Structure 1
Amino acid sequence: MRAGTTQVRLLALAAMAALALATAACAEDTPAGPGPGGTGAMKSGLKIAFLPKQVNNPYFTTSDNGGKAAVEEFGGKYTETGPSESSPSAQVSYINTLSQQKTDVIVVSANDKDAICGALNEARQAGAKVVTFDSDTNASCRDLFINQATAEGIAKIQIKLISQAIGADGGEIAILSATANATNQNAWIEMMKAELTKPEYAKLKLVDTVYGDDKDEKSFTETQALLAKHPSLKGIISPTTVGVAAAARYLSGSTFKGKVQLTGLGTPNQMRSFVKDGTVKAFALWNPADLGYLAAYAGGALASGMITGKEGDKFKAGKLGEFTVGKDATVLLGDPFTFTASNIEQFNF
């Protein structure tokens, strides 16, 4: 009788132990929920789509490839889609299609802060997380904005570089922008105007702002037209990779080379020959591959429930380290970097 009772007790204890081990194993396999430190695990198989302002634009090719690398790192499924030309409403149909395809994360650079809001909010209602990068929408239309640099930081470096290139005598300058509705371009231009009111830039005078619509040939002809319209022009700022390369191409083959200074936002591979031949002394940018990489990780963290997009949320973005969500659900990549003849050979993008 005692032996039988002991055996029953031993079997009961064994069963309890097995249950405890099984419970512990389940706890280890279950990702932790969201927390202030960005705890949790990235879901595998997330469908993450990049929607640039336009495909086949060298800048967005680089940024989207950065996103692709990140998505592959955390086991997601990457796609890229978008219009061949920038226009306010061109992205709407692509957003609708991605929503119908049950895309988990849409990473978009907005051609217009308002035009795509309706489509984005419908996609969010269908379950997609929306991350804007490079060019934002209204904050009500997305979950996070990945900011390549602050508008103030970009404005400061652009005005500083054109001032240094022109020299102490100053003179007339103009801006060659992308599209008239581009959120980021307009924010930078307003901040550049504010920067120009500082005493140290009193000798610089902004005389015109024109738009190349992020098209190479239009940007080229707009540069030509600016110089015809303003014969005393001393410098051009083009805060767009397409525009600055087109302007440099025009200046390098004209009598204005060395007389009219140019700076802007460009990639080293686009601008290398123009820096070497003296057309451009310096220009700035962030690493667009890192921008896309960060946007992908942010989207993955959102879709996995690791963060919600509230201020103070933290998450890790692979090789780039930890980031914190700031005000208005914004994540900042960092400060712009200046490229010159002394360092441009160190970069390849």
Structure 2
Amino acid sequence: MSGSDVSRDGVEGARPGRDALTGAHAGRRRGRGRGERAVVPDAEFSSYYGEPVLNRPTWKALDIAGYLFCGGLAGASSLLAAGADATARPVLARTAKLGAAGAISVSLAALVHDLGRPARFLNMLRVVKPTSPMSLGSWLLAGYAPLTVAAAAADVTGRYRVVGAAATAGAAALGPVVATYTAVLISDTAVPSWHEGHRELPFVFAGSAATAAAGLALAGAPAGQTGPARRAAVLGAALELGAFRLMKRRMGLAAEPYETGRPHGLLRTAEVLTAGGAALAACAGRRRSRVLGAVAGTALLAGSAALRFGVFHAGVASAEDPKYTVVPQRERLAARSRPGGAEGGRP
């Protein structure tokens, strides 16, 4: 082609509409013709050399998922203990107080074990940072744990009842926060399957904590005193299962790790155990059966634990796959660039 072949209207003899296309457009264009096969496939997402965008959480599954479970069990048990004291159910109250003290002790031990040295937990108490869930959570545990131990000790020994009653009330006041702050803690990270569920995850953990505390009470107290525990089991199961389903619907792509692999198996098990345990708890109340209550309680405890482990493993899986980080970011940028989007209408 020489300079004389070019005119104001383009290249002489060129056939319009026959420009070469590349990339994903080429595959779609060539696939339109009858009998033609796409030569270049549609583009798929990949990260830089296939490496994860986020660092994989280094937390140990047994330590941190156990910490999440035991914290929820302790917080809800303190609330149940205060209610049992107020309604003259002494065995239920003692079971819940001992459960709260034991669970929070195990939770703290798991946290310190994951940190590696006890001094690291103490170092977190050197400052108070209101914008940090970890900082506030450390102070919360430091204040809550002694209250549960004091409440349980006073109940078992029968001494210092005024101090025990005050400790029981204080633990009950902090209990709901202890049961749910771990959801805020993990959703405050950049891990997609945790962060994208930040609206509903505290409600999921609240329901799971209620079922765990109810399960412990059903397993350890006589049937005649477990009325509040049975009601907590049914209401907690409804809150946990409903909030979790709503969370997955709203999360979009980030909900995928909850539906695949090991997390899916754990969460499916949790759903069956929680729903079944709540149904058995309701039946145990009508039949006044201690055995049925113990079976229901065991199922509820196992279901709550399976939920926490499933959520933990789903978060780790989402951090390992870069698409759960980058694809939602691209979708948000595309939405802002559209007319009427978050960035639409700006001059």
Do the structures match in fold with TM over 0.5? no
Larger radius of gyration: 2
Q: TM-score range by the shorter chain?
A: under 0.3
In the superposition, the TM-score normalised over structure 2's length comes to 0.27
In the superposition, the TM-score normalised over structure 1's length comes to 0.27
Larger strand share, 1 or 2: 1
Larger helix share, 1 or 2: 2
